[in-house]
Amino acid sequence: MVRLCIADYGVGNLHSIRKALEICGAEAYVEKDPAALLDAECIVLPGVGAFTKTMERLQPFRADILKVLDSGKPCLGICIGSQILFENSEEGEGPGLGYMKGRVIRLKAERVPHMGWNSVDCSDRIFDSIPSPFFYFAHSYYGNALEDVVVGTTDYYGRFPTVFRKGNTYGVQFHPEKSSANGLAFLRNFVRFAEGCK
């Protein structure tokens, strides 16, 4: 059984994602010390929050986290956890982790934030055997990638990227822990993927 370390950097939804991962067969635990991420089997960067606030606790460990991701340790970034994988954001000051090249930008849509269920068109095996492509979204920004890491998109007043993969790191703009059976199917796939990386 893979042990997934959920980073607690002061955002919400930690209980929901932990419970969902446990239902999917993982041993999940919440960790407040960013240094502990470096020795974790698998990292989960959860998310409801603002870019700058989220990066405050991680910034001192940024270089070390990048080395860990480059080494192939599996990681899943969710919503803001996906956005901080990029270099910077229109939402706030300071750099992100910079693992993926690009900038987080505001949605160009008539209604922002993008709230509710929407479909995801994803070509990656992480979406294998998911009953339906609909997932729950709650965001105003998204990662605008400047390298070939986009594996899934969503249409909301125009198409934008919502699933990213680089190495063994995935980022998703939707919330699998709020996406019912589809979200659990996605998380089961990620848990299996992480187990295969051991």
**Is 177 a residue of the active site?**
yes
Round to whole Å and give the CA distance between 3 and 128. Answer: 22
Distance CA 85, CA 25 (A): 26
How does DSSP assign 148-186, residue by residue? S-EEEEEESSSEEEEEEEETTEEEESSBGGGSHHHHHHH
Catalytic status, residue 5:
no
Out of 79, 114, 122, 139, the active site residue is 79
Catalytic residue flag (residue 110): no
Give the active site residue among 5, 42, 122, 175. 175
- In order of 127, 134, 163, the CA distances from 122 in angstroms are 7, 11, 7
Give the residue numbers marked as catalytic.
Answer: 79, 175, 177
